[in-house]
Chains A and B, each alone.
Chain A
Amino acid sequence: MMNKTGLIALLLLGFAGLYPLFVDSAWLAVGTTFLVFACVAFSQDIILGRAGVFHMGHAMFFGLGAYTTAILNVQFGWAILATWIPSVVIPMACAFALVAPIIHLRGDYLLVATIGFNIIFIQILENDVFGLTGGPNGLFGIDVVHVFGYDFSSQIHMYYMAFILLGITLFIMRSLDRSKFGRAMFYIHKDDIAAQSMGISLRYYKLYAFILGAGIAGAAGSMFSVQYSAVSPEAFNVTQSIMFFTIVLVGGSASLPGVLIGTFVMFVLPEVFREFETARYLVFGVAMILTMILRPRGIWPVKFGNIPSFLKKGAK
């Protein structure tokens, strides 16, 4: 029954599950951050790759989640566990409030507006609004997760928490592929006029994509802040947003393996070539350009499957 893709997925899963046993702490941290960034990249993919909305401010939602956990824990003394729900809900609420008024903008216009949001977000963080964000230095000393007197404080714990988070994210992405929402986004992406004339609301589904994406990015942000026990504004600036945007396009829009490969290429490879210092980014820029020329649909482009079975239920 197992096909080739399934086998590759299983091997990858096995590798990812056992990875912490074979590496030192520096590489373990890289692995954890890879898992977190992959979650963010998937959430960017919901908006960019599936709904087809040019959104270049995703680091803001990632940062909102991270800062929600950091502020509630450091400034107000909440347990990390208790900050999880707000770190998902607050980015979602912000996505709704900020994006709803501009969702009718098209392509490049919307892209510029989302960059604007990201810039304002960084300004708010750096200027220490209400004395909560810690200014340009950010916040330090974020706690670890405690459950029933047990501390999940080691790097290995961090890795497996991120691993579970990515598992949940992948489950959401898979469900999306098979749901009415996912199909509606696909139709909008392919041809918005045709989608509208079929009775699909552009506004509703594009906002849905943003809100879902912001929620996942917020959860990943919370994980990120706990892993490094610190947050600072530069981790969530426009450059980071560009990275998430690029991951999706280089890897392959709306493709699960594509987004994972994109995250690997854009984040892990630079770590592998750390000894070349900044020269590695030159290679990197060239690699991005080459990918777009040689494989314009990404390294692992998506293949669209069949219409979901529930839509076929009327058929005999």
Chain B
Amino acid sequence: MHNMLLEVKDLHVNYGAIAAIKGIDLNVARGEVVTILGANGAGKTTTLRTISGLLKAASGSIVFEGRELSKLQAHEIVALGMSHSPEGRRVFSTLSVEENLMMGAYTLKKYDQATLDWIYEILPRLKERRKQLAGTLSGGEQQMLAIGRAIMSKPKLLILDEPSLGLAPVLVKVIFKAIKAIAKSGVTVLLVEQNAKAALKLADRGYVLELGKITHTGSSEELLNSEVIQEAYLGKKK
């Protein structure tokens, strides 16, 4: 029964009087890649931020490896092995690429050279630019850095919030290739995306979030072939 890495049950999140998440259930098994799809304002980022402790739930439970997270602070959750690469990249622009990566290992006693080498292997652009200040990178390179930084803490679960946001299609490919390599190495990935097609191609399963509720769920194949999903998210005309 405990092959579930993350189990979210009946989660409610409010912003003041406004209910942003209205009772969702989702789970992620070890080794899986799961994606949450949805339009702007559906509550995707809110869901991720609540899971990683940046926001507090109004009610419901979030269980990670059998431990209840809803009472823990964000920094404690990172130490348990969940790493969140937040929306909008948020790299430290006055630090170099390599320093940003080292910073990702903040919760470890010292950073792991093998992990760093591996990041340079799957994202070679970062190696080329490792002495450069992060603020001088392009948007796509900053996104690579944000992902690399998130895996420096050697997480069991990697949470990615819109990694393709605002990137050129060619860079989206590079990013998704890297996520695939990360997943293949055994890291479980929870991915939020507006680029539904790319996300479903990569993921094993998906959830569709609409106005704070999960409206569809299924394997990626089912979702890709579903009429409703195709119309709403994959741009197919009736």
Q: Which residues of A contact B (CB under 8 A)?
A: 183-184, 187, 190-191, 193-194, 196-204, 304, 306-307, 311-316
Contacts and interface: CB of A to CB of B under 8 A. Distances in A.
Interface of B: 52-54, 73-76, 78-79, 83-86, 90-96, 99, 102-104, 106-107, 110-113, 149-150, 153
Contacts of A190: 92-94
A199 B92 contact: no
B113 A316 contact: yes
A96 B13 CA distance: 31
Find the residue from B54, B83, B95, B107 having the highest chain A CB count within 10 A: B95
Contacts of B102: 307, 311-312
Given A193-B54, A307-B99, A314-B112, A198 B106 contact: yes
23 contacts: A187-B92, A187-B103, A193-B86, A193-B90, A194-B90, A196-B53, A196-B54, A197-B74, A197-B78, A197-B84, A197-B85, A197-B150, A199-B74, A199-B107, A200-B75, A201-B75, A203-B73, A304-B95, A306-B96, A306-B99, A307-B102, A311-B102, A311-B111
Contacts, number: 73
Contact of B110 (A193, A197, A307, A313): A313
B113 A314 contact: yes
Contact of A199 (B96, B112, B113, B153): B153
A197 B83 contact: yes
Nearest to B89: A194
Contacts of A187: 92, 103
Contact of A198 (B73, B99, B113, B149): B149
B107 A198 contact: yes
A23 B74 CA distance: 55
A130 B129 CA distance: 64
